[in-house]
Amino acid sequence: MPSLIDIRRRIRSVKNTQQITKAMKMVSAAKLRRAQDRALAARPYAAMLHQVLANVAEAAAQGGGADHPLLAVRPENRILVIVITADRGLAGGFNSNLLKLAQRFIDEHRPAELLFELIGRKGRDYFRKRGARIRGEHLDVFRKLRFEDAEAIASVVIEMFSRAEIDAVYLFGNEFKSVLASRLNAVRVLPIEVPKSGETVDYIYEQKPEELLGSLLPRYVKMLIYRALLESEAAEHAARMTAMESATKNATEAIDRLTLYMNRVRQASITREIIEIVSGAAALE
């Protein structure tokens, strides 16, 4: 049976941990609000760009000039995989669930030559240990997320695909759904699958539709990657806030159990001492 000093030491250790988890929860909650606003603000722009691209592509196809290097469909023998993870842990299954999804994709595409563009320290460490071919590493991106970061990644990807150095690009990330849950997202970035226009808008073009399409496609890829980064940032803070809240609650329950156990040990010790005193007094009579 542990001594009272050992139990008090354990209670003090759990209380210190509880203070840390509570502070981390508050920090994540503060960061979540801003990240959530940015992610939600990007969605209408992405939806509008999606609609404009569909209409312009339809107009370019009618004119017979819808060919573009980013639309070229080739056998997927060389695939670039973009994986967006966090730089830190303590976020529940945020990183592990995404890495499992990416690993399943890798197992399904074993014959293909896979190249990795890794955003986040957790993904970098995971694939480095497994000897994956890493083309680029992007760490501490979420410390101050900017559009320029997504633009730099997208520019490299676009150039490699245009030169036929790779045949397809897939992106894996977490999409923010709510504070309590996120959605694993796997999307093919390149070649671009031109969306179908549900409601055709009759634009007045100052330049040829095919020229406009050529300028829209790279912007569309950059927006896809930037939005995925925004969604992942919001989902990470939400997952960490939920995980720290659960850890704080578990610490409270552990403190209650240890306190109850300490009281029982102390009561047993007092009872044993009383019995020894009574027994000693009875022996002297």
What pLDDT does 274 receive?
75
| Cis upstream peptide for 2 (omega within 30°) | no
Mean pLDDT of the chain, nearest integer:
84
| Span 173-180, average pLDDT | 85
Query: To which residue do tokens 């659960």 refer?
Result: 246
How does residue 284 score in pLDDT terms, banded at 50, 70 and 90? low
CB 168 within 8 A of CB 190: yes
- pTM, 2 dp: 0.82
Task: Report the pLDDT value the prediction gives residue 164, as an integer from 0 to 100.
Answer: 85
- Whole-number Å distance between alpha carbons of 123 and 141: 13
Q: Which of 195, 187, 237, 227 has its CA nearest to residue 213?
A: 195
Tell me how far apart the alpha carbons of residues 64 and 36 are, in angstroms, rounded to a whole number: 42
Q: In CATH, which superfamily holds the domain spanning 4-25+242-284?
A: ATP synthase, gamma subunit, helix hairpin domain (1.10.287.80)
Side-chain half-sphere exposure of 236, counting CA atoms within 13 A: 25
| Beta-strand relationship, 182-190 and 168-176 | antiparallel
Each residue's pLDDT tens digit, 241-269: 888 988 898 888 888 888 888 888 778 77
Per residue in 70-87, pLDDT (tens digit) is 888 888 888 999 999 998
DSSP 8-state class, residue 71: G
Q: Which helix (H) or strand (E) holds 189?
A: strand 182-190
| Range in 2-11, 141-150, 273-282 with the lowest mean pLDDT | 273-282
Is 15 strand, coil or helix? helix
Among positive and negative, which fits the CA dihedral 246, 248, 250, 252? negative
What is the predicted pLDDT for the residue at 1? Answer: 59
Return the structure tokens found at 241: 């806030």
pLDDT at 63: 60
Interhelix angle 94-108/121-129, rounded to 10 degrees, is 40
Domain ranges of the chain: 4-25+242-284, 35-241
Q: Which class is 35-241 in CATH?
A: alpha beta
- Whole-angstrom distance, CA of residue 191 vs CA of residue 69: 8
Q: What pLDDT digit, counting tens, does each position of 136-168 carry?
A: 889 888 888 888 989 999 999 998 888 888 889
